[in-house]
Amino acid sequence: MARRPEGPPPPPVVGRVRLRFAKRGRLRFLSHRDVARAFERGLRRAEVPMAYSAGFSPHPRISWVGAAPTGAASEAEYVELALATVVDPAWLRAALDAALPPGLDVLDAVLVSGSGGLADRIDASRWLIRLPTVTEPDLSAAVAELLGRDEVQVERATKDGRRRFDARAAVVLAVCRAENDTCAILELVARHTTPAVRPDDVLTALYVVAGLRPSAPPEPTRLYQGRLLDDGTLADPLAPDRNDAGRLVGRSSA
Amino acid sequence: MSGQSLFARLEPLLPRVRRPVQYVGGEGNSVVKPWESAAVRWCLMYPDAYEVGLPNQGLQILYEILNEQPDVLAERTYSVWPDLEELLREYELPQFTVDAHRAVGDFDLLGVSFSTELGYTNLLTALDLAGIGLHAAERGEDDPLVIAGGHAAFNPEPIATFVDAVVLGDGEQAVLGITDVVRAWKAAGRPGGRVELLARLARRRLVYVPAFFDVTYRADGRIEAVRPNRDDVPARPSKHTLSDLDAWPYPKAPLVPLAETVHERMSVEIFRGCTRGCRFCQAGMITRPVRERNIETVGAMVDAGLRATGFNEVGLLSLSSADHTEIGRIATGLADRYAESKVSLSLPSTRVDAFNVTLANEFSRNGRRSGLTFAPEGGSERLRRVINKMVSAEDLVRTVSTAYAHGWRQVKLYFMCGLPTETDEDVLEIADLVREVIRAGRVASGHRDIRATVSIGGFVPKAHTPFQWAGQAAHEVTDARLKLLRDRVRADREIARAVGFRYHDGRPGIIEGLLARGDRRVGAVIERVWREGGRFDGWNEHFSFGRWAAACAAELEPLDVSLDWYTTRERAEREVLPWDHLDAGLDRDWLWADWQEALRGTELDDCRWTPCYDCGVCPTMGTDTQIGPTGRTLLPIAGVSAGSEAVVRGGAST
Ligand code: SF4
Here the ipTM equals 0.88
For Cα atoms B63, B68, B72, give the angle at the middle one, nearest 5 degrees.
80
User: What is residue A244's predicted lDDT score, i.e. its pLDDT?
Assistant: 63
Per-residue b or e along B397-410, where b marks 16 or more CB atoms closer than 10 Å to that residue's CB? bbbbbbbbebebbb
For the domain spanning A122-246, the CATH number is: 3.30.70
CA dist B563 → A144, B240, B320, B360, B537 (Å): 67, 32, 33, 43, 17
d(CA B465, CA B467): 5
User: What is residue A213's predicted lDDT score, i.e. its pLDDT?
Assistant: 92
**H helices present in A65-169, as ranges:** 89-99, 136-147
CA A251 to chain centre: 30
CA dist B596 → B252, B377, B384, B471 (Å): 44, 20, 15, 14
What architecture is domain A15-120?
2-Layer Sandwich (3.30)
Arithmetic mean of pLDDT over chain B: 93
CA dist A5 → A136, A230, B344, B363, B369 (Å): 57, 46, 18, 21, 15
Q: Are B428 and B480 in contact (CB under 8 A)?
A: no
Residue B128 pLDDT level (bands cut at 50, 70, 90): very high
User: What is residue A3's predicted lDDT score, i.e. its pLDDT?
Assistant: 43
B613 lines ligand 1 (CB under 6 A): yes
pLDDT tens for residues B527-544?
Answer: 999 999 999 999 999 999
Asked whether residue B468 carries a pLDDT value surpassing 80, the answer given is yes
pLDDT tens for residues B151-191?
Answer: 999 999 999 999 999 999 999 999 999 999 999 999 999 99
Give the residue from A185, A218, A184 showing the smallest Cα distance to A201: A218
Question: Distance, in angstroms, between A41 CA and closest chain B CA?
Answer: 4
The reported pTM is 0.93
**Torsion angle, alpha carbons of B337, B340, B342, B346, to 10:** 40
Q: Are B457 and B504 in contact (CB under 8 A)?
A: yes
Q: Is the backbone peptide bond immediately before A195 cis, with ω within 30 degrees of 0?
A: yes
Share above pLDDT 70 across residues of chain B, in percent, rounded to a whole number? 97
Q: Work out the average pLDDT over B463-478.
A: 97
Asked whether residue B289 carries a pLDDT value surpassing 80, the answer given is yes
**H helices present in B557-612, as ranges:** 563-567, 588-600
Instruction: Answer yes or no: do A42 and B368 touch at CB < 8 A.
Output: no
Contacts B26 to A, Cβ<8 Å: 26-27, 101-103
Burial classification of residue A9, based on how many CB atoms lie within 10 Å of its CB (0-12 exposed, 13-18 middle, 19 or more buried): exposed
Give residues with Cβ within 8 angstroms of B326, minimum separation 6. Answer: B292, B294, B295, B628, B629, B630, B632
Contacts B7 to A, Cβ<8 Å: 26
DSSP label of B571:
P
Which residue's alpha carbon is at the smallest distance from atom 8 of ligand 1? B607
Give residues with Cβ within 8 angstroms of A149, minimum separation 6. Answer: A168, A209
For Cα atoms B102, B105, B110, give the angle at the middle one, nearest 5 degrees.
95
User: What is residue B351's predicted lDDT score, i.e. its pLDDT?
Assistant: 83
The neighbouring-strand residues paired with B216 are: B225
Q: For residue B588, how many other CB atoms are within 10 A of its CB? A: 14
Tell how far the Cα of B110 is from the centroid of ligand 1, in angstroms.
34
Interface membership of A56 toward B (CB under 8 Å): yes
3-class secondary-structure state, position A76: strand
User: What is residue B650's predicted lDDT score, i.e. its pLDDT?
Assistant: 29
User: What is residue A248's predicted lDDT score, i.e. its pLDDT?
Assistant: 44
Asked whether residue B637 carries a pLDDT value surpassing 90, the answer given is no
Q: For residue B605, how many other CB atoms are within 10 A of its CB? A: 14
**H helices present in B264-410, as ranges:** 282-286, 295-309, 327-337, 354-363, 381-386, 393-405
Report domain extents, chain B.
7-228
Which residue's alpha carbon is at the smallest distance from atom 3 of ligand 1? B612
Flag the least confident range among B86-95, B322-331, B615-624, B628-637. B628-637
Tell how far the Cα of B637 is from the centroid of ligand 1, in angstroms.
36
d(CA A147, CA A149): 5
3-class secondary-structure state, position B12: helix
Per-residue b or e along A172-203, where b marks 16 or more CB atoms closer than 10 Å to that residue's CB? eebebeeeeeebbbbebbbeeeeeebbbbbbb
- End-to-end, the C-alpha distance of chain B in Å comes to 45
Tell how far the Cα of B243 is from the centroid of ligand 1, in angstroms.
15
Tell how far the Cα of B35 is from the centroid of ligand 1, in angstroms.
45
DSSP string, B35-55: GGG-SEEEEEEESS-HHHHTT
User: What is residue B366's predicted lDDT score, i.e. its pLDDT?
Assistant: 63
Q: For residue A110, how many other CB atoms are within 10 A of its CB? A: 23
Question: Distance, in angstroms, between A229 CA and closest chain B CA?
Answer: 33
pLDDT tens for residues B300-342?
Answer: 999 999 999 999 999 999 999 889 999 999 999 999 998 888 8
Of 3.10.105.10, 1.20.120.80, 3.40.50.280, 3.30.365.10, which CATH number belongs to B7-228? 3.40.50.280
d(CA B242, CA B245): 7
For Cα atoms B107, B109, B113, give the angle at the middle one, nearest 5 degrees.
120
Asked whether residue B513 carries a pLDDT value surpassing 70, the answer given is yes
Interface membership of A31 toward B (CB under 8 Å): yes
Give the residue from B27, B5, B7 showing the smallest Cα distance to B106: B5
Q: For residue B443, how many other CB atoms are within 10 A of its CB? A: 12
Tell how far the Cα of B317 is from the centroid of ligand 1, in angstroms.
22
Instruction: Answer yes or no: do B7 and A26 touch at CB < 8 A.
Output: yes
Q: Are A210 and A146 in contact (CB under 8 A)?
A: yes
Interface membership of B312 toward A (CB under 8 Å): yes
pLDDT tens for residues B342-379?
Answer: 888 888 778 888 788 888 888 887 666 767 889 999 99
Q: Work out the average pLDDT over B128-139.
A: 98
DSSP label of A25:
G
3-class secondary-structure state, position B514: helix
Give residues with Cβ within 8 angstroms of B446, minimum separation 6. Answer: none
Q: Which H or E run contains B546?
A: helix B545-556
Report domain extents, chain A.
15-120, 122-246
d(CA B36, CA B486): 61
Flag the least confident range among A44-53, B127-136, B198-207, B565-574. A44-53
Give the residue from A91, A79, A116, A66 showing the smallest Cα distance to A241: A116
User: What is residue A164's predicted lDDT score, i.e. its pLDDT?
Assistant: 93
Which residue's alpha carbon is at the smallest distance from atom 6 of ligand 1? B615
Interface membership of A33 toward B (CB under 8 Å): yes
3-class secondary-structure state, position A150: coil
d(CA B45, CA B53): 8
3-class secondary-structure state, position A74: strand
Contacts A38 to B, Cβ<8 Å: 258
Give residues with Cβ within 8 angstroms of B92, minimum separation 6. Answer: none
Q: Per-residue pLDDT for chain A (254 aa), expressed as one digit of tens each?
A: 344 445 567 778 889 999 999 999 999 999 999 999 999 999 999 999 999 988 777 889 999 998 999 999 999 999 999 999 999 999 999 999 999 999 999 999 999 987 789 999 999 999 999 999 999 999 999 999 999 999 999 998 877 788 999 999 999 999 999 999 999 999 999 999 988 899 999 999 999 999 999 999 999 999 999 999 999 899 999 999 987 654 444 333 33
At residue B335, φ and ψ (nearest 5 deg) are -60, -40
CA A160 to chain centre: 23
Of A41, A43, A56, the CB nearest to B256: A41
Give residues with Cβ within 8 angstroms of B621, minimum separation 6. Answer: B238, B239, B241, B585
